Amino acid sequence: MTVGWHFDNTYSKLPKSFLENIKPVPVKDPKLVILNKNLAEQLNLDFSKFSEIDLAKIFSGNNLPDGSETIAQAYAGHQFGHFTMLGDGRAVMLGEHLDKDQKRYDIQFKGSGRTSFSRSGDGRAVLGPMLREYIISEAMHALNIPTTRSLAVVSTGEEVIREQMLPGAILTRVASSHIRVGTFQYIAATQNPDDLKTLFNYTIERHYPEIKQSETKALDLLNLLMKKQCELVINWMRVGFIHGVMNTDNMTVSGETIDYGPCAFMDQYHPQTVFSSIDQHGRYSYNNQPRITKWNLARFAECIIPLIDKDEQKAISIATETINNFEKLYEEKWLNMMRDKLGLFSEDKEDKNLIFELLTWMENNKADFTNTFCNLMEIQSIKDPIYQNEEYLNWKTKWKKRLEKNNTDKEKYLELMRSVNPIFIPRNHKVEEALKDASEGNLETLNKLLEVIKDPYKDNNMLEEYQKPMPSKNGKYQTFCGT
């Protein structure tokens, strides 16, 4: 029997300063909780002939497949603005798998035990947060947002100490790579120019081979990364997603969303929304995500200054000018994204005012972010009386007048709106229900939620309960990082 693994491990061949060769710590009694069969098929992996017992051994790291080469990666990070040398303290890379099209994927275990980077951590993960990552990463994929994905979750049969004793688990994460801004920060901090060039060339070879022949590779890489990260955060803003922990070690050079810790989706629109229990000052609030993206990009630029130009002052000047282009780039892309959400073709000088009037009304009236755009798309299941508000109806009159400038039929602008405005997001209370039931051994709620979010742009009036925001009686919603 063969799964179809096709390992071709390149990162593990880098200098030892980049990584630690280490095996996952075996677990007591692994049991398969969930397997992502659709993702497995996309990876050209076939697990159909394996029992759940065998699958649990594979995805816990108790049985390592042929060709795997397990490592923990070194990286650093600005965590809430404070620089720290980090690394995979509870994750181990299984290897790099190639699919039939030779596309390369990192396969990583999260919660697989202590490494030399663990510091005071136990190297383990808890079932709830691992299932949360599974749910949210699959939702992001369905929403057409670049993301790491989850292949499997197993329970370990061991308890993990957090605020209390909780069931342990291991997540198998799939990414186009785990190279982060923090990886560059780590190597830059070691002050080894050869290692920096090695990482730089490896990153270009793996993710941006189109600039290999350029005379200005370092500047090109900075511009490409800025564009990718700008597009990513605009996608987050489009669907009301709040990452919650945008540290530099959680920004990939591939432009994928990574690390679904205290993340959540916004119900009532408020630009300062924060869910993370540890974000006391709103550093990673909804509206601050673009600013932090620019800040993180500046940290990346600092790392590659020696590669931009031999003259340090000239290199700093070039990097600063490049990073300062971020606001203009973001504003232009954000405005176009909001035009799409409102079904507006072409540009009009009053578009920005029209958009901000709506957002101001939403904030003042505590309107649901997702459902407001559903109402504009005439989704019949959205029946909140808030949308009979006189101010809102007056705004809609202005909006409809602007739509006339599209010079196209109604179906055309609705088609545009339906392509970018989800009807279903993983509502926070529905995620919590699924995690609670799963912790008690009932996966039915989890599987139903996964089925709903698999097709977020398709109207289904049979699923009205999945469109409703969290009941106000539930109080303020908070999320936790799980470490």
Q: Is the dihedral of CA 136, 141, 146, 150 positive or negative?
A: positive
Q: CB–CB of 401/450 below 8 Å? A: no
Structure tokens belonging to residue 274:
């924060």
CA distance 45 to 36: 11
Tell me the two tokens of residue 245. Answer: 């922990």
Interior angle at CA 90, CA 88 and CA 92, nearest 5: 65
Cα distances (angstroms) measured from residue 393 to each of 191, 236, 304, 312, 350: 60, 27, 52, 57, 18
Angle (nearest 5°) at CA 259 between 162 and 121: 35
Angle, helices 326-341/217-239, rounded to nearest 10 degrees = 30
- The residue whose two tokens read 């290897």 is 95
DSSP classification of residue 101: T
Nearest-angstrom CA–CA distance, 165 and 350? 56
Q: Say how far residue 311 (Cα) sits from the centre of its chain.
A: 36
Q: Looking at 66, 101, 195, 249, which residue is catalytic?
A: 249
8 Å CB contact between 80 and 276: no
From its phi and psi, is residue 134 left (phi > 0), alpha (psi between -120 and 50) or beta? alpha
Pairing of strands 76-79, 71-73: unpaired
**DSSP designation for 50:** S
Question: Which residues, in sequence order, are CB contacts of 374 under 8 Å at separation 6+?
Answer: 382, 421, 423, 467
SS3 call for 91: strand
- Say if residues 196 and 187 touch (Cβ distance below 8 Å): yes
Helix (H, G, I), strand (E, B) or coil at 48: coil
Write the CB contacts of 206 (distance below 8 Å, at least 6 apart in sequence): 10, 104, 177, 179
For residue 481, give the nearest of 276, 289, 266 by alpha carbon.
Answer: 276
Tell me the DSSP string of 121-186: --SBEEHHHHHHHHHHHHHHHHTT--B-EEEEEEEEEEEEESSSEEEEEEEEEEES---BHHHHHH
Residue 455 a catalytic site member: no
Active-site amino acid positions = 249
